[in-house]
Amino acid sequence: MVLRTTHAATGTVAGRHDWRLVPAAATVWGGSALGLLWGWWASLLCGITGCVAAMVLWRWWVPRDRERRRWRSAAGALAVCGVLTAWLTAARLHIVEHDGLRVQARDGVDVTLTVVVAQRPRAVHSDGYGGRAGGARSVLVPVDVIAAVSEGERIDSRGRVLLIGPTEDLSGVVVGQRVTVRATLAPFRPHEMTVAVGYVRGPPDAEGEAPWWQRSTESLRLAFREVAGVLDEESAGLLPGLVVGDTSELPSRVEQEFLDAGMSHLTAVSGSNVAIVCGAVLLLARAFRCGPRSSAVLAAVALVGFVAIVGYEPSVLRAGVMGAVGLLALVLGRRGSALPALAVAVCVLGILDPEMAVSMGFVLSVVATAGLVLVAPRWSRALSRRGFPRVAADALVVPTVAFLATAPVIAGMAGEVSLVSIVANLLAAPVVAPVTVLGAVAAVLGPWWRDAAVLVVQVAGPGVDWLVLVARHAAGTPGAVLSWPAGWWGALLAALVVVVLVGGLRYRRTRSVVAVLVVLVLVVTVPTRLFRPGWPPDGWALVACDVGQGDAFVLATGEPGRAVVVDTGPDPLVVDRCLERLDVERVPLVVLSHLHADHVGGLTSVFDGRAVGAVAVGPGRSPRWAWDDVVDTAAARGVPVVELAAGDRLTWSALRLDVLAPDAPGEVTVAAADDVDGSEVNNASVVLRATTAVGRVLLTGDVELEAQASLLASGEDLRAEILKVPHHGSRYTLREFLSAAAPRIAIASVGPDNSYGHPSPMILRVLRSGGALVARTDTDGDTAVVLDEGHPAVVRRGPEPRRRSPGPAVTLRRPARTARPPPTAARWPSGRPGHRARRASSTRRP
């Protein structure tokens, strides 16, 4: 149905398209992009080039006589766009490059800004390492500066600033509202119109209310989010994203699954949403026998309201302008409007906001739309001529063309390509339009008739559940995501592959060659990605999950399907997959060494489909947002949160945990602030000594120099066969601490290409010089420790395909048998003054 209306609306009659406005759009887009990348002078040069080309087209290059007037109008449009690019775009870029705040941002000055909120707040999470955001949950708010003052002096600026601050300070601002805020400036990334980043220091002071339509749309979004809450957590977070692009409540696990499955475009409102909403209004108007003009007016009203509710995202604005041009063509009775509408959208938005030229959402939206306009109708007709039903041909062609058109852009920008995108979108397509229409109806009804809105949401619920199910299974398919070189060269390489593939399938003589190449690629890649023999290895006692830059360790309790989890990594999706691969169904205890995001971010997924006995933490309560999340997550499942301290012991049939640190809970319960130094939080990590079937394991959390020195001074027996390298192999590790542990195996849980320099080469040299076999999750993937001929050995699963670092599929290595004193019998602490002591009887089982 989509392609049929597209054929009619775009005028793809006999494969003809109206290309006259394309040169003008290319001039605007190229002038904006080159100006951002190279400087304002590039926009000036591009605009002048467009004007010269228009003169040549007008004066000398004239097609047949009957086409002269049409192509002279194209020359006029090209000249106008060239002048606007050379004048407006170049001038704006010149002003931004010399903005007063951009200069001040290099010195990190404190300023007081009077601004107008330009876009809705977007939630972000810091890495939890005690960076500038303090490990707190924050939001981003783009604002336009009206006035700026620093130390009593006025700064000349009218640029855009990106404010970053705590959710409780900035989440209440509304688009169009004027506020005054105090912030510390920092330089922004190059090649963008934003002049500075402002780290907010305290809540903003409102200087008035936002326009009434912005307040109305904000209340409508809030009401819709509340109504969607009648569904389960994942569907309730997904439905607002599908309908109005509001992903504030979308669980990170679902977000990652949609990305891996190539379905993330469904949560970013774009042309498909606009087409669905306007198409539904047009069909409803036709059912009531409204004329073309009346129908177009009603659809235009729905379009304006929809764009206002969703917000001014690049893809939404592109789709809105294109939809407005299409409706105008409907009123005028013109066909063949899709390509001109796309060109007009690029011209208008490129002049109004040059930054859209390099926005990933805008680029993907334009490229996908161009592919659907230019290629999809021809492919659909070709399949129909070969006997395919029109509906089936359209359903197959649309996701295929969209995938091929956008794959080079995604590969270049994200460094990965989804191999399951086409199939996943085919399965999702039948429910997208009904869910979007029902969601839009519920959003409109929400503020005025809640019961009716709830009923509509419940009707849409099964469709939303289906989308979650499709994304989960598609993302869980081995080899679903293919790593790819990032940057310009990666994009060009992907484009070349697409051209060769499409060109090879077009000609009969080359189809067999392409088929043979595809089969060879599959034969080489599938065995290592799909069939990973021997995982999980028999008799595993410890597994370090590959969760990127974070920690997640699984300890077998000796009973099938039961394991203790120590830390949960930053991402719910990856730790959940690790536990699924290990067939863990019951988790008697989840231990969170400390509350940084890279250790607690995946906690929610541990509860998914598993029975959890308790969540254990140390005495630290910082950062506060993380502590609140842990408590809320556990309380929602009826799971208790218990506190561990030095001297505690927990036992299972094949596992015993002794808590070695922290030693002084009263000193480290620094409680509630989000601005606590990251090292202070790290040093409050729970340190465990686990006695397992493969020997003793020392789990150190992220302890740094101070906590390591305290452990050495305590006289504890730190010797262990397996050491979890402290703080991902940070250089802030004492050589004496590593010598005291004297491990046979050292495991560094670390993310590939991390910006922290983990693990430190110096620490790796110290470990290897002591005879330890070093395993790393960034290059080895999930890493298990098993017994091999009575000695601990490492089994490496290999990194996930979406990771860029290479690694073998499965290998088995045992550390060299170095001369070292055998471990003595475990000396369990008898409890110290001021500490609670739990003995073996404190075993917990769900």
Label residues 66-79 b or e (16+ Cβ within 10 Å = b): eeeeebbebbebbb
Q: Is residue 475 part of a domain?
A: no
> CA nearest 414: which of 426, 425, 405, 406?
406
Query: Are the CB atoms for 720 and 618 separated by under 8 Å?
Result: no
The amino acid present at 668, given as its one-letter code, is V
Whether the CB-CB separation of 598 and 249 falls below 8 Å is answered with no
SS (H, E, C) 553-580: EEEECCCCCEEEEECCCCCHHHHHHHHH
Here the CATH number for the domain that contains residue 642 is 3.60.15.10
DSSP symbols for 637-678? TT--EEE--TT-EEEETTEEEEEEE-S-HHHH--TT-S---H
Residues 374 and 372: their CA atoms lie apart, in Å, by 6
Supply the pLDDT for residue 506. 65
What are the tens digits of pLDDT across the range 779-798?
A: 889 999 998 888 899 999 88
At 549, list the tokens: 């830059």
Main-chain dihedrals φ then ψ at residue 816, nearest 5 degrees: -65, 145
pLDDT, averaged per 10 consecutive residues of the chain (846 residues), comes to: 37 59 90 88 90 80 58 82 90 87 83 90 53 51 91 86 83 87 84 86 85 82 87 87 78 78 75 75 81 80 79 70 70 66 84 83 80 83 82 78 82 76 84 86 86 91 91 78 76 82 68 64 52 74 93 94 94 87 94 92 88 92 86 90 92 94 55 58 93 94 91 90 94 91 94 84 91 92 90 86 40 45 32 31 31
The domain that contains 108 carries what CATH number?
Answer: 2.40.50.140
Q: Are 558 and 581 in contact (CB under 8 A)?
A: no
pTM for the model: 0.65
SS3 state of residue 812: strand
pLDDT score recorded for residue 512: 65
Q: How many domains does the chain divide into?
A: 2
What is the separation of C-alpha 75 from the centre of its chain, rounded to a whole number of angstroms?
42
Q: Which of 412, 395, 397, 423 is nearest to 263 (CA)?
A: 423
**Is 203 part of any domain?**
yes
Backbone phi and psi for residue 51, each to the nearest 5 degrees, phi listed first = -65, -40
Domain boundary among 210, 244, 264: 210
579 is a domain residue: yes
The secondary structure of residue 306, as a DSSP letter, is: H
Domain boundary residue among 210, 242, 263?
210
pLDDT at 131: 34
21 class by beta-carbon count within 10 Å (0-12 exposed, 13-18 middle, 19+ buried):
buried
What is the 8-class DSSP label of residue 610?
S
Q: With H, G, I as helix, E, B as strand and everything else as coil, classify residue 816.
A: coil
CB 532 within 8 A of CB 782: no
Q: Residue 719: count other Cβ atoms within 10 Å of its Cβ.
A: 19
Asked whether residue 835 is domain-assigned, the answer is no
Q: Is residue 271 part of a domain?
A: no
- What DSSP assignment string belongs to 498-556? HHHHHHHHHSHHHHHHHHHHHHHHHHHHHHHHT--TT-SPTT--EEE---SSS--EEEE
Rg of the chain over Cα atoms, rounded to whole angstroms, equals 30
In-domain check, residue 371: no
* Rounded Cα distance, 407 and 65, in Å: 41
Q: Which regions of 66-136 does DSSP assign to beta strands (E)? A: 110-117, 122-125
User: Which string of DSSP letters, residue by residue, matches 710-737?
Assistant: HHHHHT-----SEEE-GGGG-S---HHH
Full domain range(s) for residue 127: 98-210
> What is the strand order of the sheet 783-788 is part of?
641-643, 615-617, 590-592, 563-566, 553-556, 542-544, 783-788, 791-796, 811-813
The packing angle between helices 40-59 and 90-97, to 10°, is: 170
- What is the model's pLDDT at position 63? 53
Report the length, in residues, of the chain: 846
d(CA 830, CA 836): 10
User: How far is it, in rounded angstroms, from Cα 178 to Cα 474?
Assistant: 45
599 in Cβ contact with 593 (< 8 Å): yes
Q: Note whether residue 597 is domain-resident.
A: yes
Q: Is residue 511 part of a domain?
A: no
With vertex at residue 751, the alpha carbon angle to CA 618 and CA 600, rounded to the nearest 5 degrees, is: 25
**CA-closest candidate to residue 252, choices 265, 271, 233, 269:** 233
Is 180 in contact with 114 (CB distance < 8 Å)?
Answer: yes
Last residue within a domain, chosen from 188, 210, 232: 210
Residue 575 is encoded by which pair of tokens?
């730790």
Across-strand partners of 180?
114, 205
DSSP 85: I
